[in-house]
């Protein structure tokens, strides 16, 4: 291990507490510096006093005795691979409710229609207030999850709130309502003591009347009763009915949970969106109607008979959804008002498991690997992640450290240091880690082309056109790997002896992940990558390495789900390393050929898949076809291929286009896939493939 790597590791350790101290010392007042206006200014306090007064007496104005309304909405239960990552659907619900209200504050809601569908197995049971309309902007005391999630939090426009909260007049703007424009003031609100239960967000109040038109808010960490809650974001929009009554119009709630003591790249998200329409006023509802439970439901058979105008997945489909995607912005705005440490509910120090294979795995180059991990969260979203362990077969200790956090707005910094980390020379994974472990132990194949890497890197990431962009540079030392695994059942495939040396590289990446619930609504995802290295900067290699990958999903096309995917790459330069070639053949590229039988510094591949449910959710049938091609161009490409073939079965460029076809079964919500493929050109073979659902690979 060289001096630069040791220095980088030392710098990472030093940087983490400094980052934490710098952010932790930023108090709530400091974060507001530079914003227009000031906290608790006279105009802000005068406005909130008017708002509190208007809110307390709203039922007495305009002769409102009762009303009925109809609500329609969607509730989605999703999982993600970490906060602000792509989301996948677990369960969808479509609801129809009838809403009843009577002065001075009695209400009742009846569920009259419901459709639901599970995309993955779950036994979730929603709290009743996740399924219903929020009345009176939550009243003077806010409860969520029937008091199991948030309990007894004072409303920022309730009587006595000015003694608990601070207010700041942020700006004046115009909100577009369905039938009119409304001039409003945005009044920012936060607790005087952010260490206590409270609301952090914004009130949008009518400039003329001081009525609440809209609320966007989240909670301080102290407000959460359930320690698994990461955050709750709420958006409530009112509309003016009959020119007199500000009543619910549209509501959105998003609740995210994750493991409180384990840093694992997974979270569950409940996202509820309801629209309220068709108000009827003063119809003379009998007071006895409101006796009994506040929420009731028709029998299941009656719920199924309800005819909806909307589709089950409409609120996920960006082409159909009407609710603006602003729930994420609520959290970002809240961090400008109070330190992230007051919003973060999960514990700062946790065990870290980036995936099951980060703790326990079996590989040809490592043998058995065992290693723990730890993470520590800093204020404002910074995190130090430390992973390490011992590869028994290779007799090596491995270390991987990362420090991440925001540096300016939505820009995030990622610093990494790693020592003797096993890398895969293939640009895209061919299997999940768990399948690789099973295959290595039982069949001598881990579907990897391993080599050792030690180094350090720095990367900046930021939002870009609905996706993410990142740019960074790294210094690495590469070392060829050897076969280190003990024989379990059969012989292991030989480990290729790849290039060794130092490399300093720059990388640019653009990616757009799939929309939330892509398996239900379809859509595109893509990623572009460019990596360059030059000895004039440092290291021993000179190359440019470009990759592109895209996928489009169509759902319910004549009863079929269609998935079209493609990938391409090109590499070249003065001295191209074998680690930057494109292997092809077998799972992950063109099924129906020996694994990585083909190689090249030019690559192209595509896949078409058709799936249809046979006995939902137990079995689905799948048919697919793959095409691919590799080419070798230039002296540098030929030299890299010679290195690739020094050990193991020799690989070569494909003779024209590779073609294969096959079929398979998706089992139990398509979590497990069993496929049989046959290569149709260049001595193709039968290949039986057992794999997990691709979205789960990061966990395995």
pLDDT (tens digit per residue) in 332-385 = 788 778 877 787 777 888 999 988 899 999 999 999 999 989 999 887 778 999
How many CA atoms lie less than 13 Å away from 216 in the CB half-sphere? 16
- Under a CB-based contact definition with an 8 Å cutoff, are residues 308 and 166 in contact? no
Residue 19 counted as domain residue: no
Tell me, what's the pLDDT at 381? 74
Q: What is the pTM of this model?
A: 0.88
- Kind and range of the H or E run holding 555: strand 542-557
Tell me, what's the pLDDT at 478? 97
- Under a CB-based contact definition with an 8 Å cutoff, are residues 292 and 270 in contact? no
Domain that holds residue 591: 539-700
User: Where residue 587 sits, what CATH number does that domain have?
Assistant: 2.40.160.50
Tell me, what's the pLDDT at 402? 96
CA dist., res. 393 & res. 362, Å (int)? 9
- Under a CB-based contact definition with an 8 Å cutoff, are residues 153 and 141 in contact? yes
CA dist., res. 52 & res. 162, Å (int)? 9
Cis peptide leading into residue 80 (ω within 30°): no
- Under a CB-based contact definition with an 8 Å cutoff, are residues 571 and 583 in contact? no
Residue 8 counted as domain residue: no
Tell me, what's the pLDDT at 341? 73
DSSP three-state, residue 464 = strand
Tell me, what's the pLDDT at 28? 37
Residue 149 counted as domain residue: yes
Residue 700 counted as domain residue: yes
Tell me, what's the pLDDT at 319? 56
Residue 148 counted as domain residue: yes
Show which of 338, 360, 375 is a domain's final residue: 338
Q: Which residues contact 268 (CB under 8 A, 6 or more apart)?
A: 77, 78, 79, 90, 256, 257, 258
Task: Give the end-to-end CA distance of the chain in Å, rounded to a whole number.
Answer: 29
Residue 453 counted as domain residue: no
Tell me, what's the pLDDT at 146? 87
DSSP state of 552: E
Tell me, what's the pLDDT at 321? 54
Residue 620 counted as domain residue: yes
Residue 171 counted as domain residue: yes
Query: Where on the phi/psi map is residue 484: left (φ > 0), alpha (ψ -120 to 50), or beta?
Result: alpha
> How many C-beta atoms surround the C-beta of residue 322 within 10 A?
9
C-alpha distances in Å from residue 139, one per residue of 55, 142, 156, 157, 158:
10, 7, 10, 9, 8
Low-confidence ranges of the chain (pLDDT < 50): 3, 6-11, 13-14, 16-35, 323-325
Show which of 301, 319, 338 is a domain's final residue: 338
CA dist., res. 606 & res. 551, Å (int)? 10
Show which of 338, 364, 384 is a domain's final residue: 338
CA-based torsion, 445, 433, 388, 416: positive or negative: positive
Q: How many domains does the chain have?
A: 2
């Amino acid at each position: 291990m060289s001096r630069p790597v040791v220095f980088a590791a030392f710098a990472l350790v030093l940087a983490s507490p400094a980052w934490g101290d710098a952010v932790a010392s930023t108090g709530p007042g400091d974060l507001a510096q530079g914003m227009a206006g000031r906290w608790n200014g006279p105009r802000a306090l005068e406005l909130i006093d008017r708002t509190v007064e208007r809110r307390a007496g709203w039922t007495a104005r305009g002769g409102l005795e009762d009303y009925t309304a109809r609500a329609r909405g969607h509730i989605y239960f999703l999982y993600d691979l970490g906060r602000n990552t792509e989301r996948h659907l677990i369960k969808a619900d479509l609801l129809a409710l009838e809403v009843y209200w009577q002065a001075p504050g009695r209400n009742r809601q009846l569920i009259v229609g419901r459709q639901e569908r599970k995309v993955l197995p779950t036994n979730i049971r929603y709290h009743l207030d996740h399924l219903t309309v929020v009345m009176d902007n939550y009243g003077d005391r806010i409860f969520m999850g029937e008091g199991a999630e948030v309990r007894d939090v004072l409303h920022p426009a309730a009587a006595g709130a000015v003694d608990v909260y601070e207010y700041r007049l942020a700006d004046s703007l115009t909100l577009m309502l369905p039938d009119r424009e409304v001039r409003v003031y945005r009044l920012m609100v936060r607790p005087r003591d952010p260490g206590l239960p409270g609301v952090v967000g914004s009130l949008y109040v009518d400039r003329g009347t001081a009525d609440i038109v809209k609320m966007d808010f989240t909670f301080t960490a102290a407000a959460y009763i359930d320690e698994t809650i990461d955050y709750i974001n709420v958006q409530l929009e009112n509309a003016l009915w009959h020119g007199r009554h500000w009543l619910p119009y549209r509501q959105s709630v998003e609740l995210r949970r994750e493991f409180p003591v384990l840093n694992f790249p997974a979270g569950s998200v409940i996202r509820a969106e309801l629209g309220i329409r068709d108000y009827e006023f003063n119809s003379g509802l009998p007071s006895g109607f409101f006796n009994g439970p506040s929420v009731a439901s028709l029998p299941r058979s009656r719920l199924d008979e309800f005819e909806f105008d909307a589709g089950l997945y409409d609120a996920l489909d960006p082409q159909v959804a009407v609710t603006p995607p602003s729930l994420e912005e609520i959290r970002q705005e809240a961090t400008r008002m109070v330190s992230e440490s007051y919003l973060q509910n999960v514990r700062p120090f946790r065990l870290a498991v980036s995936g099951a294979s980060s703790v326990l795995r079996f590989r040809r180059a490592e043998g058995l690997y065992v290693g723990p991990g730890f993470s520590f969260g800093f204020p404002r979203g910074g995190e130090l992640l430390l992973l390490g362990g011992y590869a028994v077969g290779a007799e090596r200790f491995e270390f991987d450290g990362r420090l991440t956090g925001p540096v300016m707005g939505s820009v995030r910094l990622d610093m990494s240091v790693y020592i003797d980390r096993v890398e895969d020379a293939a640009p895209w994974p061919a299997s999940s880690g768990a399948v690789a472990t099973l295959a290595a132990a039982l069949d001598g194949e881990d579907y990897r082309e391993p080599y050792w890497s030690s180094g350090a890197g720095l990367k900046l990431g930021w939002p870009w056109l609905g996706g993410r962009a990142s740019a960074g540079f790294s210094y690495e030392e590469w070392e060829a790997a050897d076969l280190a695994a003990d024989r379990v059942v059969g012989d292991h495939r030989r480990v290729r002896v790849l290039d060794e040396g130092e490399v300093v590289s720059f990388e640019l990446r653009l990616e757009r992940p799939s929309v939330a619930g892509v398996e239900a609504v379809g859509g595109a995802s893509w990623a572009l990558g460019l990596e360059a290295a030059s000895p004039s900067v440092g290291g021993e290699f000179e190359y440019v390495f470009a990759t592109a990958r895209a996928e489009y999903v169509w759902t319910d096309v004549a009863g079929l789900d269609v998935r079209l995917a493609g990938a391409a790459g090109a590499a070249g330069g003065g001295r191209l390393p074998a680690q930057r070639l494109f292997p092809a053949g077998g799972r992950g590229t063109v099924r129906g050929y020996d694994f990585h039988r083909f190689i090249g510094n030019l690559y192209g591949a595509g896949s078409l898949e058709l799936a249809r449910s046979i006995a939902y959710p137990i079995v689905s049938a799948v048919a697919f076809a793959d095409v691919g091609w590799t080419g070798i161009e230039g002296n540098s490409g030929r030299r890299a291929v010679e290195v690739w073939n020094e050990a193991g079965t020799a690989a070569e460029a494909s003779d024209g286009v590779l073609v294969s076809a096959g079929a398979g079964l998706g089992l139990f919500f398509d979590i497990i896939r069993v496929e049989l493929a046959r290569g149709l050109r260049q001595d193709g073979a039968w290949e039986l493939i057992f794999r997990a659902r691709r979205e789960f690979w990061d966990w395995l």
